[in-house]
Structure 1
């Protein structure tokens, strides 16, 4: 997995030979790669990233198992926005090699519109500036109505194929104070190998809008606590710390919504 930090202006990659047992190593890459995605293509490992554009940079493996940059970045797509003149530029890259194409899924937010899932694809990693055949299109532009309120648009995520051969996209919709609700969207592929997002096939119908026990995700924040004042750690001497009542069950009835 990889993550970029605006605070440190560095990018971090965490890897392991065994995802269940580890051990895990951390690779520190100089420079912040915005909303990056790892792309695995045979023995090659790349980072794909960018805001308003799509950049590509190869990684190489050191003898100690960590990763480092292998050469400079290459700009694959100069303007990653699709049919958009103003608003949030395309970002949030999720890159894959599927069949004969490289796919980069992104999000954009046109002024006055809803968030959209956009997709760029090409049969090679050749940049546009060098003749690369990159094509971009909007693949989903739809919000999910919640409580009678029109949604702000389902977007920003990637695709996954399940063991039975079915494809899905894991996206989100911003619900304001509730946060970003996960949205599972069914995906099929047309004869030209473009994905078709079926936004009513999964959680867009409401299936993801419940907590683990079936309770509604939206709930009151009026928590039922005992009336006595909460306890606390009552000494500054670590050798004499005593556990207060606040660290045990004190009558709170927090539902699964607050996980």
Structure 2
């Protein structure tokens, strides 16, 4: 039997553990660096704005969003949800590379687009929280890694083992420097992606995801190692592990601590919630950064780096008392800036209709926030008194397949409607070609204030959302039953989000006021 003191110590150790997934939310394509005692993480958010979120942590357990690399992308009307030109659903910013060099932060990203929309951006900032400014734009590099060598030469590693050197001022590539630094194996019929280059003890290490479709082989994280950045490179598989009843993990990077320990941060596909992040030990064995526990598996728990850090999260409640939008929110595509406000009615988020649209998928100023596993609940309180005929406002489990709880105004009548909606997008331009809508339940309303709630369950193999409403904020009535949340890489390529919306189908000019967004994460 443990003594009382030992029991207390054991409890503290338990409390200071990181349960995997480290971030049970949609945080794909990670890059992570450490500057001093702080870790900085960047992820893909594609069509959400502002984009390329920067998150920070002191202990790899408690993360908060501290800034974004850009507020908007403006190369095309597609970023504004154009009904004629198309959208950027599942496109936009991908797989940003984050670096720190000689006192400055650098980020390199390339939208997954054709032509000039897909040009690579390089940004820089004095602080990770920003402000960030554009250094240059150049040709497209897929899933690339920026790398500053010890001699100050700069490289971009991209695609399946391609590399080019950049000019010292980062203004463009140096022509003639293209090099194929390795050739993939015969059974690697898929691309090798997610390049992340680091240097350790004088050697160069390129981490990548390998898609192997041969019998008995799985998705895996591989590493290419060389004494010279130009090669030759040798290869090892550093992680080939499933976890938690889901698929095999791959794509991410490694990072060291101030004490010289190393960790791997790798993402895993988890259906409706999206692509989640796991943390694991990285052990240097024979000069290779081997990931996972002693058996090479993703562990269920990892000890946090330090105790006593305040609890922080990238998903949060909001009473909208700040005059600025909190950083845990992102808009679906570029917002219409004059069609929302936190100051016109202090303590409320006002969403105005700015143009007439046919459906939710073309509606500007839909405000989103991630959902989290294993379970979470989000709710809003809506003042409906200024809606106009044809307006639609509410709360959605927002994705390419959405379940939508909406208040609709027809003439002077308000109706609460629960529906399942699925968008069809053109393959190339991502135009909204059709929205298939199935009405599940509809009730008449006789009030101008209503509370709407979503309960989401991402316990493995569940992915269910339930919808409720209240007329007083205390007593809730469920509508419908269990609604499946899905993940489709060919459309949104993103986990399901809470979506707060208000759009006009007949005439612009109405608005709704959101009193608060309440949020709780559950086990």
TM-score by length of 2: 0.39
CA contact (8 A) 1:186 1:202 kept: no
Gap change, CA 1:96 and 1:166, over 3 Å in 2: same
| Deviation string, structure 1 residues 74-130 (Cα, Å, up to 9, x no partner) | 22424134xx5144221111001111211000001211532100000100022xxxx
1:98 paired residue number: 200
Aligned to 2:289: 195
Superposed displacement of residue 57, structure 1: 1.5
**Runs of 4 or more above 6 Å deviation:** 200-203
Match of 1:55 among 150, 159, 162: 162
The structure with the greater share of residues assigned to strand is 2
**Which whole-Å deviations, capped at 9, do the CAs of 1:29-51 have from their partners, x for residues lacking one?**
33210100111112122111113
Pairing partner for 1:222 from 459, 466, 477: 466
Structure 2 partner of 1:129: none
| Residue of structure 2 in register with 1:24 after alignment | 132
**Correspondent of 2:235 among 136, 149, 162:** 136
Which secondary structure state, in structure 1, belongs to the residue aligned with residue 466 of structure 2? coil
The answer to whether residue 337 in structure 2 is matched with residue 70 in structure 1 is no
- Structure 1: 5+ residue runs without aligned partners? 127-131
Name the structure 2 match of 1:15: 124
Secondary structure of the residue aligned to 1:5 is coil
Deviations 1:217-240 (A, max 9, x none): 516411333369x99578735xxx
Q: Specify whether residues 199 and 183 from structure 1 end up closer, same or farther in structure 2 by C-alpha distance, changes over 3 A only.
A: farther
1: CA distance between counterparts of 2:244 and 2:128?
37
Distance between the aligned counterparts of 1:61 and 1:108, measured in 2? Answer: 31
Q: Give 3-state SS (helix, strand or coil) of 2:272's partner.
A: helix
Instruction: Give the equivalent residue in structure 2 for 1:157.
Output: 252
Distance in 2, matches of 1:29 and 1:175, equals 34
> What SS is found at the alignment partner of 2:299?
helix
The change in CA–CA distance for 1:26 and 1:80 in structure 2 (over 3 A counts) is: farther
1:120 maps to 2:227: no
Count of aligned pairs: 229
Aligned CA distance change for structure 1 residues 87 and 178 (closer, same or farther; 3 Å): farther
Deviations 1:171-202 (A, max 9, x none): 01112223212111101112x31122124799
Alpha-carbon distance change, 189 to 203 in structure 1, aligned in 2, over 3 angstroms: closer
- Could you tell me which residue of structure 1 aligns to residue 143 of structure 2? 35
Find the residue that maps to 1:160 and give its secondary structure: strand
RCO comparison, higher one (Cα < 8 Å, 6+): 2
RMSD: 3.3
Does the CA-based 8 Å contact 2:292-2:298 persist in structure 1? no
**Does the CA contact (< 8 Å) of 2:182 and 2:232 recur in 1?**
no
Query: Cα gap change, 1:231/1:55 in structure 2, threshold over 3 Å: closer, same or farther?
Result: closer
Residue pair 1:40, 1:96 contacting (<8 A) in 2 also: no
CA contact (8 A) 1:94 1:158 kept: yes
Is 1:204 equivalent to 2:299 in the alignment? yes
**Which residue in the other structure is 1:5 paired with?**
111
Q: Secondary structure at the match of 2:467?
A: coil
Aligned to 2:265: 170
Q: Which runs of 5+ in 2 are unaligned?
A: 1-106, 304-311, 316-371, 376-457, 473-499
Partner of 2:184: 80
1:233 and 1:124 mapped to 2: Cα distance? Answer: 56
CA 1:224–1:23: 2 relative to 1, 3 Å: same
